[in-house]
Structure 1
């Protein structure tokens, strides 16, 4: 954990952008003069940050970032009053020169064995405010692929819809307990899973189940859970393979329903899972099964909670093709699900995902519940 500052702090924003590999052409840098006057802070909190020393960005990214930083510092030193006598600190110049001279491969990429050999793999660190301690910030550090598709899957990197959904979860549960029975669909490399696991830390009866289909993605997810020192496959945090097509198979769909019932799931969440029209029907079928309450659920026989607590799903999607997402919503409603649009927070917490060349990609967040008016017995 690291001391928290307001999100409007330009120096803290600089640290967050560097740690999360904000695309260099999209960096939002503080003023030149502020940077020149804040060099000791930059050295102590960015260049010597213990988490970033242990899990640094790639050498190529550091080289480009430092080039932009030094150029801005040169401008700031020229703009300063003569009596300030500002010049670039030797510690910053030494790091920059070292980055220019370094041509070797990153040895730091050997931590996560399932991703170590992937071209373009890098560590990323995301900072977030801890709801339980406003003066501190939590960390999510990931080893992930930087290319859009690696090995035929898009699941080896973090996408912008995950960042926006994370911001929603932080805002929604800033003053209330996080749900205790939670399941993620399409967990990918683990950004949301790690974040939610950390938000649920301390919950006595909390259980989190992270799911995906591709075994390589699941391996990378497990690596990142270990990297963040989270206990994998104990009773509170589990990783499992889930094939959405099972929900459309009469013989196999019982296993999908059982997965949600054994967990007695309260909240289901997913990000960037409705991007392909082919995935829409099996995804909707999976959500429909998981959102149905179990007759054997403890809450179903608890008079104080009758009728049974409604299960809720949150799905965030970057709108690349509006027709695809509208088709997904139509399919959800046709299957007996109530769809509600939710408003995303205005305040940006996370950086590092300049998808499509823009940090302003449109993300929609919807809530899905079983529509009790359109179903029999529910």
Structure 2
């Protein structure tokens, strides 16, 4: 569903992109816009009509958003004969109220398809989202960390899309700790990479990643480009790493870009990760390496120190400022906790 083709206000398009990503702090359009009957028809068609959109958010999320919309419309009604909430919206609200609610802890474990729109202008037509089936509110720990999309991946997506798409277009990309596959799918589809290899160390995460690749293939969100390949890669398994390098050589391929997002969270994996990056840089001397991390503890600083002091990498922090207002048009994420992107060069 391409809401931009409805010829509506940019603020409504941004609201739609936020809603389909299912973020908590959406930017609601003003009631003076929502009270318009044509706008309400668009809202129902694109936001709530399951016959038009098969990947609508969960019922509880829909209900929260629609309740606010109805309240804003009612506050903006000046002429009771002309201004009113549409029958479609009221009937859908009544339907949502009949659906039994699960406990919060149970619902947090439920998988739903989230639509991540790249940060392209709000009046651009034909913009396709990256579809990720995940439990976005999962309280991740241990083996679950790869089963939701994290802020650092969205931050790096913003950077690559708006500042350095040249690093990806028609190039070979390797992602470490790919998790849900969001970044790999963005690189393969919207950013037009020649080849993308998405790797993760856990078998069940790779299975979920494969499912997300299939989801995007079946919904034609890759703009006709080659979908990512998926491979399990344990950073401590030297034979496995050697096999990857050998397979890459046999294919006559060089990786031009190596990326990783939120992969420096655990102290035990910092040195294996840094040493793997060193081996990859030796194998592909011209490659660019970008690591994005949300700064929650000292582990990122420890990772940087290992790369710089022990492995002779030059570590450079890259500027990435998320804009305000309508310029913030996709890959929505919180920057309340600091997120850094660094390049590793040698």
Do they fold alike, i.e. is TM over 0.5? yes
Unmatched runs of 5 consecutive residues or more in structure 1: 106-116, 295-308, 372-378
Which of 199, 211, 214 is matched with 2:202 structurally?
Answer: 214
SS at match of 1:340: strand
Distance in structure 2 (CA, Å) of the matches to 1:127 and 1:70: 26
Kindly state the Cα deviation for residue 129 of structure 1 after the two structures are TM-superposed. Answer: 5.1
Q: Does 1:59 align with 2:34?
A: no
Asked if the contact 1:121/1:144 (under 8 Å) is kept, the reply is yes
Query: What is the TM-score of this pair, normalised by structure 2?
Result: 0.83
Is the Cα–Cα contact under 8 Å of residues 31 and 75 in structure 2 kept in the other structure? Answer: yes
1:9 aligns to what?
A: 10
Query: Post-superposition shift, 1:336?
Result: 1.9
Corresponding position of 1:316:
292
Does the aligned pair in 2 maintain the 1:4–1:135 contact within 8 Å?
A: yes
Corresponding residue SS for 2:210? helix
The answer to whether the 8 Å contact 2:22/2:57 transfers is yes
Distance 1:118 1:240, change over 3 A: farther
| Structure 1 position 252, deviation (Å) | 5.7
d(CA) in 2 for partners of 1:120 and 1:151?
Answer: 18
Whole-angstrom distance in 2 between the partners of 1:282 and 1:86: 63
Distance 2:204 2:11 in 1: 38
Aligned to 2:190: 199
Looking at structure 1, the residues matched to 131 and 226 of structure 2 have their Cα atoms a distance apart, in angstroms, of 23
Deviations 1:247-277 (A, max 9, x none): xx5x665335436645411100111001122
1:255 alignment partner in structure 2: 243
1:324 deviates by 1.5
Aligned to 1:180: 171
How many residue pairs get aligned? The number is 325
Shift in Å, 1:226:
0.7
Tell me by how many angstroms 1:237 deviates: 3.2
Gaps of 5+ in 2: none
User: Does the CA-based 8 Å contact 1:129-1:138 persist in structure 2?
Assistant: no
**Contact 2:50–2:56 (Cα < 8 Å) also in 1:** no
Cα pair 2:316 2:343 within 8 Å, conserved = yes
Q: Retained in 2: the 8 A contact 1:167–1:349? A: no
Can you list the C-alpha shifts for 1:301-359, whole angstroms capped at 9, x where unaligned? xxxxxxxx6111111111111x2111111111121212111011433343565xxxx55
Confirm or deny that 1:162 pairs with 2:142: no
Indicate which of 251, 256, 273 corresponds to 1:266: 256
Query: 1:178·1:199 contact (CA, 8 Å) conserved in 2?
Result: no
Give the aligned partner of residue 366 of structure 1. Answer: 342
Query: Contact 1:340 / 1:368 at 8 angstroms: preserved in 2?
Result: yes
Select 1:328's aligned residue among 279, 303, 327.
303
Question: Of 315, 336, 342, which aligns to 1:339?
Answer: 315
How much has 1:28 moved relative to structure 2? 2.3
Match of 2:26 in 1: 27
